[in-house]
Amino acid sequence: MNFFTIVLRGLLRRPVRTGLTLVGISIGIAAVVALVGISRGFETSWETGMKTRGTDVVVSNMGSALTPKPFSASVRDRITPLPHVAEACSLLVDLISIEDAEMMIVSAREWGGFTWKNLKLVSGRLPNDEKEPAVVLGKTAAEMLKKKVGDPIQIEAAEMSVVGIVDGGAVVENGSVILSLPLFQEVSDNQGKINIIDVRVTPGTTKEQVTKLCEQITSLVPEARAIVAGEHIRDSQAYRMIRAMSWGTSLLAVLVGVLGVMNTMLMTVFERTQEICVLLAVGWRRRRIVRMILMESAMLGFFGGVGGVLIGVIGVRLLEHTPAIRGLLEPDLNARLLATSVAIAVVVGVFSGLYPAWRSSRLTPSQALHG
């Protein structure tokens, strides 16, 4: 028997209460894992999508909506002459309901632009020209819409046909309905409007030069901002709100966990007053009692954290396949997030045990003789 055994027995003394406390912490930590993982997934999925398209700089106006605000398509022509700009491609991206799918990414791209080039055909072909009423579907989008090459597809009021299924190399690309820019401008009543310009810089452009280019574009185009690809999502008010809500909700869930552990440990100290006094009477130092209580609460936190990570990961994996999320983002459940979540749980455990531990240290051994 070692000190760890003593700590463990303390927890197993009331298995139902310990179990319920663990469930409480687990739910809190699962919320952290799921919400933060999803919000980070949103960021990384879009970032990966940008990288796959070969985009270095994104020109857009990320307001408070999930998609950028439209601006004039003529902006593109003011950008292309700037130094270090190799190519620019106009896009009109929106999240709309298509047939039975509640929210799909529609990515309308300038015909012939570089953003078409990363698409690898899985079946069918690309549209013949920008006028052909045709779309290609990312492979996930095709599964979600249950479409194959040759099927008709309703985009807003227009009927088009699916001419190809593509692998875009990223979750966002594979979850998109891709068509030519003029077609979508017309069906969405956004003639002459775009909301994103993907810019590719010339090879050999340094990071400082890219940053300077962004500043130049932003000053040249007051209706939009140029941001290094990937960072534009972080710049979005909507994303910031999602992230803040994720952490806010997680914090509340963790707070519930703190109260749960504190309650359990206080009950433990109250219930075990006699026992703690006996330990003091047989020569245990107060600091050993404090350590025992803190280790018990830390272990509650640790096991709750591990349980929470498991529940969170399983929950997110299940959510990933729901129509609301599928094809829009890939939750980012990296090892750092999972380790941080367990660490948060352990800190929560130790923090929650501080007051009960202090209470236990105030007990006097003479109480052991009573009762």
- Interaction between residue 203 and other proteins (CB under 8 A): no
- Interaction between residue 10 and other proteins (CB under 8 A): yes
Written as six digits, the tokens of 95 are 């999240």
Q: Which stretch binds other proteins (CB under 8 A): 219-227, 279-287, 293-301, 316-324?
A: 279-287
Instruction: Count the residues of the shown chain that bind other proteins, applying the rule CB under 8 A.
Output: 27
Written as six digits, the tokens of 52 are 């796959």
**Which residue number, 126 or 281, has a Cβ lying nearer to other proteins?**
281
Residue 48 CA neighbour count, 13 Å, CB half: 19
Site string for other proteins, 338-367 (x = CB under 8 A): --------------------------xxx-
| Residue whose entry in the numeric block shows the structure tokens 């599964």 | 143
CB of 362 to other proteins, least distance (A): 14
Instruction: Report DSSP state, residue 361.
Output: H
CA–CA distance, 299 with 270 (Å, rounded to integer)? 19
Residue choice 16, 282, 318, 335 for contact with other proteins (CB under 8 A): 282
CB of 364 to other proteins, least distance (A): 7
**Which residue number, 13 or 193, has a Cβ lying nearer to other proteins?**
13
CA–CA distance, 67 with 62 (Å, rounded to integer)? 7
CB 224 within 8 A of CB 61: yes
- Interaction between residue 3 and other proteins (CB under 8 A): yes
Contacting residues for 222 by C-beta, under 8 A, at least 6 apart: none
- Interaction between residue 5 and other proteins (CB under 8 A): yes
Residue choice 78, 193, 212, 286 for contact with other proteins (CB under 8 A): 286
Residue choice 100, 204, 283, 322 for contact with other proteins (CB under 8 A): 283
Residues 13-32 that bind other proteins (CB under 8 A): 13
- Interaction between residue 154 and other proteins (CB under 8 A): no
CA–CA distance, 25 with 253 (Å, rounded to integer)? 8
**Which residue number, 1 or 324, has a Cβ lying nearer to other proteins?**
1
Maximum Cα–Cα distance across the chain: 93
Closest CA to 199 of 240, 223, 228, 219: 228
Written as six digits, the tokens of 366 are 């003479």
The separation between the first and the last C-alpha atoms of the chain, rounded to the nearest angstrom, is 28
CB of 290 to other proteins, least distance (A): 13
CB of 273 to other proteins, least distance (A): 12
CB 79 within 8 A of CB 217: yes
Q: Using CB under 8 A as the criterion, which residues of the chain lie in contact with other proteins when the complex forms?
A: 1-3, 5-6, 9-10, 12-13, 274-275, 278-286, 288, 364-366, 368-369, 371
